[in-house]
Amino acid sequence: MIFSFDLLTNAIVSGILIGAFYAAVTVGITISFGILDIVNIAHPAFIILGSYVAYIINATFGLDPILTAILVTPAFYALGAGIYQIYYLSFEKRGQESMRGLAFFFGLLFITEVSLVLYFGVDYRYVQAPYIGPTWHVGSLDIPLRIMVPAVVSLLMIAVLQFVLTRTFVGRAIMAVAQDQLALKLMAVDPIRIKRIAFGISIATASLAGAFLIIIQPVEPSVGREYIGRVFAICVLGGMGSMPGIVIAAMLVGIVESLTSTFYGPSWAPAVSFGFLLLTLAVRPAGLLGR
Amino acid sequence: MTVRSDIFLLICLVVGAAVFAAALALGNEYYFFAGYVVLQYVVLSTAWNILGGYCGYVNFGSAAFFALGAYSTVAIHQFHPMPIPVLVVGGGLVSGVVGFGMGYLTLRLRGAFFAIATLALAVVLETLVVNWDYVGGSRGAYIVRPETIAPFGSYIKYLFLIMMLLAVGSITVARLIERSRLGYGFATIRDDELAAEASGVPTLRLKLIATTISGALMGMAGAPFPYYIGFLQPSSAFSLDYAVNSIAMPLIGGTTGWVGPLIGAVLLGSLQQIATVTISSAVNLLIVGFLLVGFVIVAPNGIIGLVQKYVEHKPAGRVGRRPVKTDLPKAAP
């Protein structure tokens, strides 16, 4: 293959943009797995659910997918809070979360995927918006707006989340729950309530991430599975619960994937994240910015 | 129930022969095709339970180990056709080695990492197989199954018999482990890994033994699969059905002993065969999903747990099993 500088810069820029989108996909896992210690492997399924909600509303009312996603976040928040309540009562309270809790989320993943297949079939679905299609040309760089717009909104969302987690009372309580539940209880804060709120927020981000996904690429129900390895790789690499960490990790994975698909072919890209995950687990389990 | 292992094996073989004779007596080839799938699930769920039920480590990558077995058959077949027992050993070796490698990389960390890594393993192995033209790549590979084989008549009877032997073998192995030092070691890991480590149990070595045995058995279950299906595609070998079924069956049956996965696999496997014929294959997967979620919430110890509760009128729980304390102690008023 002939080495080309233009190809390289284009691959790196699109890797950074895709990375910003990966950060939005991972941020929910970072809250549930990194902070709350709930191994929510069904998260990608909720993201696909978000994609389909954006698709339905876009197809019937022609509403912008990102706007739709922001409007339905309360519904996703409620869904998340409800799921946490079931999870708490059935597993955490009984001390059985390790194995049966995992199986519970695996079941949820499976039910969501099969239900979507039964209802919508396995056809690829896509949305329509003014920014899907046009491309910016900056010198030799090509920046498709369909990736640019989700990337920018995704970074905004993470900035807002970082602000909430470090500057508001509830956010600080969420960080505290990760460190010491007993201390939080002594401060007269109910840790279960805080965890419910945090899990609700984590599922609410899936609504936005789902909208980004269906803007970037057409979606069918099993697409979510490709993201399982990727999101956990980014979450671990980013240091389990650090927002700046996952942005850096996500961009790193995005760049390496983009280079792999440019120079070796797109069919190899899914293997990259797994390589990252194994390498991180073997060499530095605390992640890039881990404590 | 203290039957010696060799006598137990004999009983299993007699039961297996009886099932085979019954299927012969029914005189319809379909029963062999359906029975093969159920037996395959018996092997998969028993194998899953050796790691999941005995050690408490969840493997989401059953499909990956199964597919590894199937694809090593394809690879060997492309090189030179071999008798199926040789292929079974080959599939078992490949999956066992991969199981060992996976365990070595992830088992020193918290349990959840192992689960996540197995989930990702399926995606990556599928990528590798899709890109590997020698075994057919994304187009898939044809394995021409001979119509008949010498003493059995039709080939499916031969495959059925092999899977029956594998099922008997894996159940015997599971029961042997349960009653040996190895099994007690596994139980200490499941109940309290830190305490086990502190008392001198070589936890990492035991976990590696468990992942290797479990992976090898899954690979063995997958090895005859290309001959059964005739045309192997990455998407059918790596299907999520295998992963969800091999978790759902032990959890629905009960994870404490070898009986649970057997009951779960026979019940759920037959139910799915019936549902596939009468309703549709997508709906029957939905049923499995709902059963899995329902059982882990309502009956955490599976059917075995329910039966024990009913018979003994005492709370169903594992003897000597302490729940891991994660919640706060109730503060005194």
Kindly report, residue by residue over B184-222, the tens digit of the pLDDT: 999 998 888 888 889 888 988 999 999 999 999 999 999
> Smallest Cα–Cα separation from B159: which of B228, B88, B90, B219?
B228
Residues 6+ apart with CB under 8 A from A52: A116, A120, A125, A210, A214, A219
DSSP string, B32-48: HHHHHHHHHHHHHHHHH
Q: What is the pTM of this model?
A: 0.83
**pLDDT (0 to 100) of residue B328:** 45
Backbone phi, psi, residue B82, to 5°: -130, 160
Does A236 touch chain B if contact means CB atoms closer than 8 Å? Answer: yes
Q: For chain B, what are the domain ranges?
A: 5-312
Comparing C-alpha atoms, which of B69, B21, B39, B14 is closest to residue B266?
B39
Domain-embedded: residue A253: no
Q: How far is Cα of residue B207 from the mean position of the Cα atoms in its chain?
A: 17
How far does A102 lie from chain B, in Å, by closest CA?
8
User: Measuring CA to CA, which residue among B51, B74, B35 is closest to residue B223?
Assistant: B74
Give the count of domains, chain A: 1
What confidence score (pLDDT) does residue B331 get? 43
| Residue in A92, A222, A267 nearest the CB of B127 | A267
Helix B62-79 and helix B29-52, axial crossing angle in degrees, nearest 10: 120
Q: pLDDT (tens digit, 0 to 9) for every residue of chain B, 333 residues total?
A: 567 778 888 888 888 888 888 888 887 888 888 889 999 999 999 999 999 889 888 888 899 999 999 999 888 888 888 888 888 999 999 999 999 988 887 777 666 778 877 877 888 888 888 888 888 777 888 887 777 777 777 888 888 889 999 999 999 999 999 889 999 999 998 888 888 889 888 988 999 999 999 999 999 999 999 988 888 888 888 888 888 889 889 999 988 888 999 999 999 888 888 887 787 777 778 888 898 898 888 888 888 888 888 887 655 455 544 554 444 444 443
Identity of the residue in B58, B120, B130 whose CB atom sits nearest the CB atom of A103: B58
* CATH 1.10.10 for domain B5-312: no
Mean pLDDT of A215-219: 90
In a domain, A279, yes or no: no
Cross-chain Cβ contact A102/B290 below 8 Å: no
pLDDT at residue number A9: 86
For residue A229, is pLDDT > 80?
Answer: no
Angle between the N-to-C axes of helices A224-237 and A243-263, in degrees from 0 to 180, rounded to the nearest 10: 130
Using the Cβ of A181 and the Cβ atoms of chain B, whether some distance falls under 8 Å is answered with: yes
CA quadruple A234, A79, A84, A188: dihedral positive or negative?
positive
Interface contact flag, B290 A111, Cβ < 8 Å: yes
Would you say residue A146 has pLDDT above 90? no
Distance from CA of B23 to the nearest CA of A (A): 33
A185/B contact by beta carbon, under 8 A: yes
**Any B CB within 8 A of A270 CB:** yes
Percent of chain A exceeding pLDDT 70 equals 95
Which residues of chain A neighbour B126 with C-beta distances below 8 Å? Answer: 270
Quick one: CA torsion of A119, A229, B54, B308, rounded to 10 degrees?
-20
3-class secondary structure for B279-316?
Answer: CCHHHHHHHHHHHHHHHHHHCCCHHHHHHHHHHHCCCC
Which chain A residues contact residue B285 at CB under 8 A?
110, 114
A113 close to B (CB below 8 A): yes
Q: Is residue A4 part of a domain?
A: no
Identify the pLDDT of residue B69.
93
Domain limits for position A97: 24-225
Distance CA B128, CA B66 (A): 15
Residue A274: inside a domain: no
Q: Residue A274: which of B124, B251, B331 has the nearest Cβ?
A: B124
A225 vs B105, B123, B128: nearest CB: B123
